[in-house]
Amino acid sequence: MLRITHQSTSFHIEKLNAFKEEAIKAQQLLQSRKGPGNEFLGWLDLPKRVEGNILESVDQAAQRIRSQSEVLVVIGIGGSYLGAKAALDFLAHQHSGVEIVFAGHHMSSLALQQAMDRIQGKDFSINVISKSGTTTEPAIAFRLFRKLIEDRYGKAEASQRIYATTDGEKGALRTLADQEGYTSFIVPDDVGGRYSVLSPVGLLPMAAAGIDIQSMIDGAALARTHSFNNENHVALEYVALRNYAYANGKKIELFASYEPALTALGQWWQQLYGESEGKDGKGIFPAVVSFSTDLHAMGQYIQDGERHMMETQVVLKNAPVQIEIPYDEANLDGLNYLKGKTLHDVNTSAFQGTLEAHEAGGVPNICIELDRADASVLGYTFYFFEYACAVSGYLLGVNPFDQPGVEAYKRNMFRLLGKPGI
């Protein structure tokens, strides 16, 4: 389903093997469940834990949403929406459910108004995702959309159109969900937000959009089996390669893809690795580029700028759609040499040509190939990156499951807004 098809020729085998040994030790620490942050290792077993009743409940709720509504407003920030957004973009060609509108991941009046405009004249439901219910961005959005849905349908019907994904026992959203009778799903206590995509956090929006969540969990379960049972698994290879490059001065990792459908997956990856590794003065800076678009924006810097970056290129082996380039009698654009080739052929050549150019320019590359764009491959990919991230964090010597730095801006913002007690 997923494999590394290329690694930079600048990686020396003996030195790389030393990082592989360190990755194996970090993996052993992860699997022993005795490392830092071990109270947040529930994601390791999510492919087993969400089977059966949980998947059935999610599917039933998704069917009800589709019968009620044309649009589902998903309110959440960070890991509460990035995974679902990645899945919806990656599998856009397979959607058969409701339209998804994301809100609550910013505090822009214009963007929120645009989200509200998208539901005008349409039946809608809400899935609000927050463990506490008090995170500022989603809490503001939920307050506004809750008023909209109650004004339109009345409180009684609105309560049947609001789905809360939150803590099982405590918090403002849990209290409200119990009081109003919202259908609710639990964010497991031992699963942090950025590792929650394979829980109801990600699965309910996906199912409402018509994605086959059973296949996604099956793919993740296969990745779990491979990760746990093989010290030469591709996740450890990825960990060793990126940490080798980091130790040799490559401080920035670019997630590069050649399908716009993969850009949101890169944004999910960016949060996962940025929050997990960026602490204690350490960590590779994760950034996302979309080729070939960004070759006309960032390509110059990548090719000739400061040599402090590496690339992880994620490519699709098989495109879900094939478009053939036609013959043109006048040939004013000079493209008749491409007659009979598909856009995927051209895209593949762009990838290969860019890889050669960037390698020659001193940018180490790791190439990850996905077999196809379906739910099982995506489930495998989600788990692969999560597992590799946790191992890489332990290899780096940090706790990959906390994010103390996130609180700094909040304290200042609350003070400036005059929040009581600050």
Range of the domain at 69: 43-211
Both 297 and 382 in a single domain?
Answer: yes
Whether residue 341 lies in the annotated active site:
no
Residues 53 and 153 both lie in one domain: yes
pLDDT computed for residue 20 by the predictor: 95
What is the Cα–Cα distance from 16 to 238, expressed in whole angstroms? Answer: 11
In a shared domain, residues 238 and 350:
yes
Q: Identify whether residues 300 and 238 lie together within a single domain.
A: yes
Residue 133 belongs to some domain of the structure: yes
Reply yes or no on whether the pLDDT at 408 is more than 80. Answer: no
Catalytic residue among 169, 296, 306, 329: 296
Angle formed at CA 352 by CA 266 and CA 328, multiple of 5 degrees: 105
For the chain, what is the HEC assignment? CEEEEEECCCCCHHHHHHHHHHHHHHHHHHHHCCCCCHHHCHHHHHHHHCCCHHHHHHHHHHHHHHHHCCEEEEECCHHHCHHHHHHHHHCHHHCCCCEEEEECCCCCHHHHHHHHHCCCCCCEEEEEECCCCCCHHHHHHHHHHHHHHHHHHCHHHHHCCEEEEECCCCCHHHHHHHHHCCEEEECCCCCCHHHCCCCHHHHHHHHHCCCCHHHHHHHHHHHHHHHHHCCCCHHHHHHHHHHHHHHCCCCEEEEEECCHHHHHHHHHHHHHHHHHHCCCCCCCEEEEEECCHHHHCCHHHHHHCCCCEEEEEEEECCCCCCCECCCCCCCCCCCHHHCCCEHHHHHHHHHHHHHHHHHHCCCCEEEEEECCCCHHHHHHHHHHHHHHHHHHHHHHCCCCCCCHHHHHHHHHHHHHHCCCCC
What gap in Å lies between CA 373 and CA 362, rounded to an integer?
Answer: 31
Among 156, 178, 211, the domain-final residue is: 211
Question: Strand order of the sheet with strand 285-290?
Answer: 2-7, 365-370, 309-316, 252-257, 285-290
- Please give the angle made by the CA atoms of 391, 200 and 109, to the nearest 5 degrees: 95
Q: Are residues 272 and 190 in the same domain?
A: no
Q: Are residues 395 and 246 in the same domain?
A: yes
Q: Is 324 a catalytic residue?
A: no
**Cβ–Cβ under 8 Å, residues 401 and 36:** yes
| Catalytic pick among 22, 237, 259, 275 | 275
Is the confidence at residue 412, as pLDDT, over 90?
A: no
6 is catalytic: no
Q: Give dist(CA 24, CA 240) in Å, integer.
A: 9
| Residue 202 sits in the same domain as residue 75 | yes
In terms of average pLDDT, the best of 2-6, 23-27, 91-95 is: 23-27
CB 287 within 8 A of CB 254: yes
Mean pLDDT, the chain, whole residue set: 95
CATH, residue 291: 3.40.50.10490
CA distance 112 to 109: 5
Residue 127 or 414, more confident: 127
353-400 pLDDT, tens digit each: 999 999 999 999 999 999 999 999 999 999 999 999 999 999 999 999
Say which residue, 341 or 232, is predicted with more confidence.
341
Residue 419 forms part of a structural domain? no
Q: What is the pLDDT of residue 10?
A: 82
Q: What's the rounded Cα separation, in Å, for the pair 149 and 163?
A: 12
**Separation between Cα atoms, residue 240 and residue 337, nearest integer Å:** 42
User: What is the structure's pLDDT at 193?
Assistant: 95
How confident is the model over 220-265, as pLDDT tens digits? 999 999 999 877 789 999 999 999 999 999 999 999 999 999 999 9
Domains of the chain: total = 2
Tell me the average pLDDT across 133-143.
94
Pairing of strands 365-370, 2-7: antiparallel
Chain center to CA of 197:
7
How many C-beta atoms lie closer than 10 Å to residue 159's C-beta? 17
Domain boundary among 179, 211, 243: 211
Same structural domain for residues 346 and 295? Answer: yes
How confident is the model at residue 7, as a pLDDT? 87
Of 172, 191, 211, at which residue does a domain stop?
211
